[in-house]
């Protein structure tokens, strides 16, 4: 790009102004160690201008993505659930202030979970706040069974992507989730009419044999991707054995269907994966806030920092310092 120098100069002088201008726009810009990152929350399109070199002092201070557990409440009792079972729920006003701060500090998206986020009373208001007052993409992970037509209407236009938990099909699903599989399929159709969506599948000895069927279901219902999550150790369960993880990786390597497969960072093993943003690792890339308002590296990490009146970035700095100590 011939004019890169001029463009960079303009960019460097106007990062603060750029952040202000971006509020409410669908295409958001983020600067960091890998360059200038453009993100369109409506489509999920990412563009990285890696020739843009911005001084470290102007890099985004917020993680690229933050997951937020709105509540620990859930009406299901999945055997592999790792969500805390103590009662906790986030205050909506504090939550909106954190969302504003994350947006201003260069975060690209928040992912609401729990517990079950559809049990959070102020969910439509919080999603509308994020959609109308910030440039953040809003995603949500749900079991889907509480998505009534009224809730779909209330969230339409404010949620950019819905992740639906589908662990196996037929009786496998019904045994694990204790809900009719036919009802889930109806919910996929209802949600798919209003939102871009993907399927999340916990992979363990029970669900591994169903992976072909889950991928077929994802394709036939119009899902954009299938996120494969090896079961984690939690509450007395050991999680997926190395044997199951190896079998999962073999299945992925052999898969030739149309659905985009995704894995969480740390679950990829020796599989060939793309690393588009190699400079953004750890807390630059991702953080989690639990339903008690504690910021952690991931929902699996024990160590955390309470998000108090000083805000999310202050808690992030304290957590970063702890990690460095
Ligand atoms: S739906 Fe999710 S939060 Fe609820 S019990 Fe199952 S795994 Fe846990």
- The half-sphere exposure of 312 on its side-chain side, counting CA atoms within 13 A, is 32
Q: Distance, CA 78 to ligand 1 centroid (Å)?
A: 5
Cβ of residue 143 lying under 6 Å from some atom of ligand 1: yes
pLDDT of 26 reads 63
Establish whether residue 73 lines the binding site of ligand 1, counting it when its CB lies within 6 angstroms of any ligand atom: no
What is the rounded distance in angstroms from the CA atom of residue 114 to the CA atom of residue 71?
Answer: 5
Angstrom distances, CA of residue 80 to CA of 54, 165, 176, 243: 43, 12, 9, 18
Q: How far apart are CA 196 and CA 265, in angstroms?
A: 22
Sign of CA dihedral 77, 217, 131, 61: positive
Q: Which atom of ligand 1 is nearest to the CA of 115?
A: 3
Distance 72 CA to ligand 1 centre (A): 9
pLDDT at 8 over 50: no
Q: Which residue has the tokens 């679950």?
A: 267
Q: 52-61, 140-149, 215-224, 273-282: which has the minimum mean pLDDT? A: 273-282
Burial of 240: CB neighbours in 10 Å, binned 0-12, 13-18, 19+: buried
Residue 141 CA: nearest ligand 1 atom is: 2
C-beta neighbour count of 281 within 10 angstroms: 12
Contact 259, 220 (CB under 8 A): no
Q: Let me know how many helices (H) and strands (E) the chain has, helices first.
A: 10, 13
Q: What is the DSSP letter of 45?
A: E
pLDDT beyond 70 at 1: no
Tokens encoding 184: 């889930």
pLDDT the model gives residue 5: 32
Q: How far is CA 99 from CA 39, 102, 128, 293, in A?
A: 17, 5, 12, 13
CA–CA dist 112, 160 (Å, integer) = 11
Distance from the alpha carbon of residue 116 to the mean position of ligand 1, in angstroms = 7
Three-state DSSP at 234 gives: strand
The answer, yes or no, to whether the previous bond of 50 is cis (omega within 30 of 0) is: no
Q: Residue 63 has what pLDDT? A: 98
**CA dist., res. 32 & res. 233, Å (int):** 34
Cis before 140? omega within 30: no
Chain centroid to Cα 104, Å, comes to: 19
Name the average pLDDT for the chain: 90
List the one residue out of 66, 97, 67 whose CA is nearest residue 83.
67
Q: From the alpha carbon of 114, which atom of ligand 1 is closest?
A: 3
pLDDT at residue number 236: 84
Q: In the numeric block, which tokens belong to residue 74?
A: 């859930």
> Which of the pair, 108 or 26, is modelled with greater confidence?
108
Q: In this predicted model, what pLDDT tens digit does every residue of 212-227 receive, in sequence order? A: 999 999 999 999 999 9
The rounded Cα 302 to chain-centroid distance in angstroms is 19
**Structural domains of the chain sorted by starting position, each given as residue range(s) with its CATH number in brackets:** 4-58 (no CATH), 65-324 (3.20.20.70)
State pLDDT tens for residues 240-288.
999 999 999 999 999 999 999 999 877 887 788 878 899 999 999 999 9
92 CA → ligand 1 middle, Å? 22
pLDDT band per the 50, 70, 90 thresholds, residue 22? low
Interhelix angle 170-177/181-194, rounded to 10 degrees, is: 90
Question: How far is the C-alpha of 107 from the C-alpha of 313, rounded, in Å?
Answer: 11
Predicted local confidence at residue 269, as pLDDT:
79
Contact residues for 324 (Cβ-Cβ < 8 A; gap 6+) = none
| Other Cβ atoms closer than 10 A to 322 | 11
């Amino acid at each position: 790009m011939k004019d890169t120098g001029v463009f960079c100069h303009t960019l460097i002088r106007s990062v603060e102004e750029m952040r202000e201008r971006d509020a409410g726009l669908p295409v958001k810009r983020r600067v960091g160690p890998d360059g200038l990152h453009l993100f369109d929350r409506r489509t999920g399109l990412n563009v990285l201008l890696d020739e843009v070199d911005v001084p470290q002092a102007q890099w985004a201070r917020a993680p690229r993505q933050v997951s937020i557990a709105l509540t620990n409440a859930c009406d299901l009792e999945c055997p592999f659930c790792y969500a805390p079972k103590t009662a906790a729920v986030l205050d909506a006003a504090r939550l909106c202030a954190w969302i504003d701060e994350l947006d201003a500090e260069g975060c690209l998206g928040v992912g609401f979970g729990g517990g079950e986020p559809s049990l959070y009373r102020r969910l439509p208001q919080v999603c509308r706040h994020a959609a109308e007052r910030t440039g953040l993409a809003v995603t949500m992970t749900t079991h889907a069974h509480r998505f009534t037509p009224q809730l779909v209407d209330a969230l339409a236009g404010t949620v950019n992507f819905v992740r639906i938990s589908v662990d196996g099909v037929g009786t496998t699903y019904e045994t694990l989730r204790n809900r009719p599989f036919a009802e889930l399929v109806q919910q996929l159709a209802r949600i798919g009419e209003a939102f871009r969506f993907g399927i999340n599948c916990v992979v363990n000895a029970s669900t591994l044999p169903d992976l072909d069927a889950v991928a077929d279901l994802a394709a036939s219902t119009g899902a954009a991707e299938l996120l494969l999550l090896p079961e984690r150790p939690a509450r007395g369960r050991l999680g997926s054995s190395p044997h199951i993880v190896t079998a999962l990786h073999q299945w992925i390597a052999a898969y030739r269907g149309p659905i985009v497969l995704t894995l969480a960072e740390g679950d990829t093993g020796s599989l060939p994966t793309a690393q588009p943003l190699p400079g953004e690792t750890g807390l630059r890339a991702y953080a989690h806030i639990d339903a008690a308002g504690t910021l952690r590296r991931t929902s699996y990490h024990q160590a955390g920092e309470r998000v108090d009146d000083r805000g999310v970035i202050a808690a992030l700095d304290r957590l970063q310092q702890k990690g460095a100590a």
